[in-house]
């Protein structure tokens, strides 16, 4: 994972720079690019309904993985505080991020502010039974310094047989229901970055999910698309769609010069989702995100279409969505449970 | 192990053509794993003597080493075999594909190929790039018209959908190569989705990866090499291509192929069922889920990152150091 993290960090710096540089590519999207000033960030990130839950969340959410990549605990605390100040209330995490560090940092940063936040974390049983899932929940609650989660999701549903394992007797689906019954979690869902068909297989079980997380970006629209295959189905069922990987996971489309970070974020946030989760490991990146999210104005349908058209050729072979085409973004615990080689043995 | 000279392997029809090929094919990639050229030549000699007529290779395998060694091994024996190699434009144009053909012919020391295939259809846009004006389809047509190749086809190990996309281009392929094994039957299956379509169209089906690429399932005791090979050879294919990097492996394969009796349908189903659970997440078919088996040539053409652990990449790096020897051996 070390190289992975390094790549992500390296990108964030690039993206932060590109975010304030002139637009590249031919997309018919124009947006004023300014230096970051506090006055510019006056205002809040607008709220949206979280599906049918009755809860409202900020249109941009703070990704938990990158909190573990921030330089120090203090830096993470400051990122969370500033995000809250600007109206960000949706906080993502996962039991397995940085072996628990991401959850610990979020727990610390939300001390005294827990009631302002919609806290989500994910269970990483990866096909194992309910008991292991419930044990992970207790660990997550302890690290997050809270007695309940707002959203608890099954992490990384990316292997073909995951739906079968999750819905097997005594599987993770039962853990979600138990936790909800016990009042330890308010809402439940699942996540995955691999294949729309696996998401649809999960939905076909008609399980009472509240949320569903998926990669949504302007390259996805024309390549093995969650946007066209899963998002409408999630909305039809009244689930709250949570977008992620708006910049390709590590900013691949930005580094390739296909889009700017701002275009990528704006596109993802303009989709019919409850929130777009974006990882932040520094104030520079937070400012970049807030410049888009504060007082957010969605792209017009025609602007979205021209961005999709622009990205279509880049997207055609999947090289800007490595999470769909390679094993690069597949986590350690899931690989172990599915007897896949480690990331060192199988980087891509 | 028996010395197999004079024995024979069943021959099968090559699609709708008059040609026949041995039911077991000699995979080119593993020839590059032999310790030296002398051993490689000996492996090729004994393979021909043992009744293998189908020889597989590829322009990009080990930066040409496997074609050169196979060419040396087939010297004086070229007329006894059905020689295939592959071109590696990976979406690039027909001229590049044709220049690779000239190189392959030179390395293989021959003036024609029996089968020339476009290598490694992997990405969703590969069918479009293939059939696009000036794409590799034009190279296949020209090479056939010029008499440099008898038959043409394509290969790939990623996606049955991409294979079907290639067929939908309407190009008149003579052969199609794909991974076929008892794990494939239950996971993103070429056997279920592509093989029946080829048989319907009279296109020669070429199976590969009968042992899942590197034999992981055999090392882990899920199936034996004999079962795996027999399963693949029992499918309705013209040949099953498998790699042989030593005389020991060659002899083992020859023994299975020379005494080959197809599994009954019930036996095949039993083996599929035995593999089903471990097939379900693709752990034994990483070529469908990762870029592990995709050569640098394919990755570069499609802007995917390289993997420094890959043998071809190691060969590229090794080639930068002048050791005074051809094909410097990799050091780890």
Greater confidence, B318 or A9? B318
Given CB atoms, is B286 within the 8 Å cutoff of chain A?
A: yes
Read off the pLDDT of residues B219-262 as tens digits, 9 standing for 90 and up. 999 999 999 999 999 999 999 999 999 999 999 999 999 999 99
Q: How far is A313 from chain B (nearest CA, A)?
A: 9
The reported pLDDT for the residue numbered A20 is: 35
Instruction: Kindly indicate the confidence band of residue B327, based on its pLDDT and cuts at 50, 70 and 90.
Output: low
> How far A195 CA lies from chain B's nearest CA (Å)?
11
B295 CA: distance to closest CA in chain A (Å): 12
Q: Is residue A154 over pLDDT 90?
A: yes
Put simply, the answer to whether B124 touches A340 (Cβ < 8 Å) is no
pLDDT in tens, B99-117: 999 999 999 999 999 999 9
Q: What is the pLDDT of residue B308?
A: 87
Quick check: B123 contacting A, CB < 8 Å? Answer: yes
Q: Does B188 touch chain A (CB under 8 A)?
A: yes
The bridge status of strand A56-58 relative to strand A47-49 is antiparallel
Mean pLDDT of A88-109: 98
Q: Say yes or no for a CB contact (<8 Å) between A326 and B290.
A: yes
Partners of residue A164 in chain B, C-beta under 8 Å: 280
Residue B326: the pLDDT is 62
- All residues at 6 or more sequence positions from B246 whose CB lies less than 8 Å from its CB, including other chains: B34, B39, B43
Q: In angstroms, rounded to a whole number, what is the distance separating the alpha carbons of residues B60 and B67?
A: 9
From A51's Cα to the closest Cα of chain B, the distance in A is 31
Contact criterion met (CB < 8 Å) for A325 and B304: yes
Tell me which of B291, B306, B313 to substitute to probe the interface with A (most A C-beta atoms closer than 10 Å).
Answer: B291
Crossing angle for the helix pair A301-315 and A261-269, to the nearest 10 degrees: 120
Distance between CA atoms of residues A347 and B70, nearest Å: 32
b/e per residue, B125-141, with b = 16+ CB within 10 A?
A: bbbebbbbeebbbbbbe
Q: How many residues does chain A have?
A: 348
Q: Which residues of A touch B283 (CB under 8 A)?
A: 338-340
Contact B282 A325 (CB under 8 A): no
Residue B221 contacts A, CB cutoff 8 Å: no
| ipTM for the whole complex | 0.90
Q: Do A162 and B281 touch (CB under 8 A)?
A: yes
More confident: A58 or A11: A58
Residue of chain A whose Cα is closest to the Cα of B188:
A160
**Taking the alpha carbons of A271, A276, A281, A284 in that order, is the dihedral positive or negative?**
positive
Q: According to the CATH classification, is domain A2-17+45-337 in 3.20.20.100?
A: yes
Mean pLDDT of all residues in chain A? 91
Q: Which CATH class, in words, describes the domain spanning B11-319?
A: alpha beta
The DSSP annotation for A144-179 comes to TT-S-EEEEEE----STTHHHHHTSTTSHHHHHHHH
Looking at beta carbons, which residues of chain B come within 8 Å of A250? none
| Average pLDDT over all residues of chain B | 94
The model's confidence at residue B324, banded by pLDDT at 50, 70 and 90, is low
Considering only CB atoms, A347 lies closest to which of B126, B278, B307, namely: B307
What confidence tens digit (pLDDT) does each residue in B186-225 have?
999 999 999 999 999 999 999 999 999 889 999 999 999 9
Judge: A327–B290 Cβ closer than 8 Å, yes or no.
Answer: yes
pLDDT band at residue B312 using 50, 70 and 90 as cut-offs: confident
What average pLDDT score do residues A22-28 get? 32
Count of C-beta atoms within a 10 Å radius of residue A262: 23
Of the candidate ranges A222-231, B150-159, B243-252, B317-326, the one whose mean pLDDT is the lowest: B317-326
H or E, element range at B20? strand B20-22
Q: How far apart are CA A292 and CA A278, in angstroms?
A: 12
3-class DSSP assignment, residue A63:
strand
Domain positions in chain B: 11-319
Q: What is the pLDDT of residues A159-201, one digit of tens each?
A: 999 999 999 999 999 999 999 999 999 999 999 999 999 999 9
Residue among A160, A326, A327 minimizing CB distance to B280: A160
pLDDT at B317: 78
Contacts of A341 in chain B (CB under 8 A): 286
Cβ atoms A29, A271 nearer than 8 A: no
Q: Which of B123, B292, B309 sits opposite A317 (nearest CB)?
A: B123
Q: At what angle do helices B247-258 and B225-234 cross, to 10 degrees?
A: 50
According to the model, what pLDDT value does residue B309 have? 85
Which whole number is the average pLDDT over A313-327?
96
Q: What pTM was estimated for this model as a whole?
A: 0.90
pLDDT at B3: 41
Q: Report helix, strand or coil for A49.
A: strand
Q: Find chain B residues with C-beta within 8 A of A348's C-beta.
A: 290-292, 304-305, 307
Residue B323 confidence (pLDDT) above 50? yes
Beta-carbon separation of A348 and B292 below 8 A: yes
Q: Looking at residue B325, what is its pLDDT?
A: 64
Contact in structure between A117 and A84 (CB atoms under 8 Å):
yes
Do the chains contact at B303 and A319, CB–CB below 8 Å?
Answer: yes
Query: Are A326 and B291 in contact (CB < 8 Å)?
Result: yes
Residue A28 DSSP one-character state: -
Q: Is residue A26 scored above 50 in pLDDT?
A: no
């Amino acid at each position: 994972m070390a190289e992975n993290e390094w790549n992500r960090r390296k990108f964030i710096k690039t993206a932060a720079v590109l975010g304030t540089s002139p637009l590249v590519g031919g997309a018919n999207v124009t947006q004023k690019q300014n230096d970051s000033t506090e006055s510019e960030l006056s205002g809040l990130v607008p709220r949206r309904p979280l599906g049918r839950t009755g809860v409202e969340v900020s249109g941009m959410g703070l990704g938990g993985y990158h909190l573990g990549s921030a330089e120090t605990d203090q830096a993470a605390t400051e990122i969370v505080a500033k995000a809250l100040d600007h109206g960000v209330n949706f906080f993502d995490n996962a039991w397995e991020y940085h072996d628990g560090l991401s959850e610990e940092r979020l727990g610390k940063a939300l001390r005294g502010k827990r009631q302002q936040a919609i806290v989500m974390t994910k269970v990483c049983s990866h096909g194992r039974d309910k008991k292991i899932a419930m044990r992970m929940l207790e660990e997550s609650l302890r690290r997050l310094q809270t007695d309940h989660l707002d959203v608890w999701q099954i992490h990384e549903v990316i292997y073909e047989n995951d739906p079968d394992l999750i819905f097997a007797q005594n599987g993770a689906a039962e853990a979600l229901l138990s936790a909800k019954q016990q009042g330890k979690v308010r809402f439940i869902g699942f996540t995955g970055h691999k294949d729309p068909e696996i998401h649809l297989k999960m939905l076909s079980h008609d399980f009472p999910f509240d949320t569903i997380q998926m990669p949504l970006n302007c390259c996805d629209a024309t390549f093995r698309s969650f946007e066209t295959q899963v998002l409408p189905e999630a909305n039809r069922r009244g689930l709250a769609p949570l977008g992620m990987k708006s910049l390709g996971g590590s900013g691949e489309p930005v580094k390739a010069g296909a889009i700017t970070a701002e275009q990528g974020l704006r596109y993802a946030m303009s989709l019919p989702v409850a929130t777009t989760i974006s990882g932040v490991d520094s104030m520079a990146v937070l400012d970049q995100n807030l410049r888009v999210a504060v007082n957010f104005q969605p792209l017009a349908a025609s602007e979205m279409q021209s961005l999709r058209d622009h990205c279509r050729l880049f997207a055609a072979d999947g090289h800007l969505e490595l999470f769909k085409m390679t094993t690069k973004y597949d986590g350690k615990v899931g690989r172990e449970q599915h007897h896949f080689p480690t990331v060192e043995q199988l980087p891509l | 192990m028996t010395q197999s000279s004079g024995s024979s392997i069943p021959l099968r029809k090559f699609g709708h053509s008059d040609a026949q090929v041995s039911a077991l094919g000699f995979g080119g990639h593993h020839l590059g794993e032999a310790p030296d050229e002398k051993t490689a030549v000996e492996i090729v000699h004994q393979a021909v003597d043992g009744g293998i007529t189908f020889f597989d290779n590829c322009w990009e395998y080990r930066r040409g080493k496997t074609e050169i060694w196979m060419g040396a091994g087939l010297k004086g024996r070229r007329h006894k075999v059905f020689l295939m190699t592959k071109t590696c434009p990976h979406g690039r144009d027909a001229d590049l594909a044709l220049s690779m053909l000239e190189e392959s012919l030179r390395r293989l020391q021959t003036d024609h190929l029996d089968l020339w295939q476009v290598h490694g259809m992997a990405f969703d846009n590969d069918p479009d790039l293939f059939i696009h004006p000036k794409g590799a389809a034009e190279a296949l047509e020209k090479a056939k018209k010029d008499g440099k190749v008898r038959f043409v086809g394509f290969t790939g190990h990623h996606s049955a959908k991409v294979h079907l996309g290639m067929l939908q281009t309407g190009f008149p392929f003579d052969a199609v190569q794909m991974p076929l094994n008892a794990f494939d039957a239950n996971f993103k299956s070429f056997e279920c989705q592509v093989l029946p379509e080829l048989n319907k169209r009279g296109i020669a089906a070429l199976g590969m990866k009968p042992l899942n690429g590197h034999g992981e399932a055999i090392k882990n005791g899920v199936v034996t090499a004999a079962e795996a090979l027999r399963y693949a050879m029992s499918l309705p294919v013209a040949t099953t291509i498998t790699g042989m990097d030593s005389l020991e492996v060659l002899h083992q394969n020859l023994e299975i192929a020379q005494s080959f009796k197809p599994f009954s349908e019930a036996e095949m189903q039993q083996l599929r069922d035995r593999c089903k659970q471990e097939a379900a997440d693709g752990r034994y078919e990483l070529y469908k889920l990762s870029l592990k088996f995709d050569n640098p040539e394919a990755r570069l053409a499609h802007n995917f990152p390289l993997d420094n652990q890959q043998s071809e990449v190691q060969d590229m790096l090794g080639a930068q150091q002048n050791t005074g020897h051809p094909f410097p051996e990799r050091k780890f």
